[in-house]
Amino acid sequence: MLIQVSKKLLIALCFMPITVLAQQDILKSQYDLLGTIVDELKFTDYIKNEPINKNFDHTFKVLEFWASWCKPCLKAVPHLNKLQNRFADQNIVFLSVTNQSPEEILPVFEKVKFETIVVSDQTKTLHKSLRIESNGYMVLPRTVLIDDENKIVWFGLPSELTTTVIERFLKKEKIKN
């Protein structure tokens, strides 16, 4: 039993540096995208809080990438709800983006209240173009700010997204990454 546990621990310790390095590569590649323009945002499904107008051009966008199995992602939802409510009268939209199917995430809504627009990117096109996923690795949760000209201006964690960051974002002031 002790040998079996030791083997599992050894295997885990061997792969941990690979995972950490892969995540560091993803984060670096995301920062390389800062200042670039994204194409139109396309989603496979609008799952919750579907808007009437799905054209987000000329709108400031907060994209929150999450998954139903990601506890830190679900823990961040109330914070994002508060921020959305705080800036409800501004030209900004909050989108919670998953790559899971609606069927996979519907049970989450029984436990967690999403006030943001919940969408799915099952093709992972957006995940890959924003480098949320790369080479089979994903860093979640991850927040991306895209301005009203579709320029990527910030990558971070939901906990780093504060009212000050959003105010600077809306004024098109530089935001530290």
Outline where 61-170 has alpha helix (H). 71-86, 102-105, 125-129, 163-170
Q: pLDDT under 50 in the chain at which residues? A: 1-5, 8-23
What Cα–Cα distance (Å) separates residue 45 from each residue in 42, 53, 119? 9, 14, 6
Six-digit token string for 71: 């506890």
Six-digit token string for 142: 């991850």
- Rounded to two decimals, what is the model's pTM? 0.85
21-50 pLDDT, tens digit per residue, is 334 555 677 888 999 999 889 999 999 999
Query: Which amino acid appears at position 173 of this protein?
Result: E
| Domains of the chain (ranges, CATH numbers) | 2-170 (3.40.30.10)
* Residue 74 to residue 52: CA distance in whole angstroms: 26
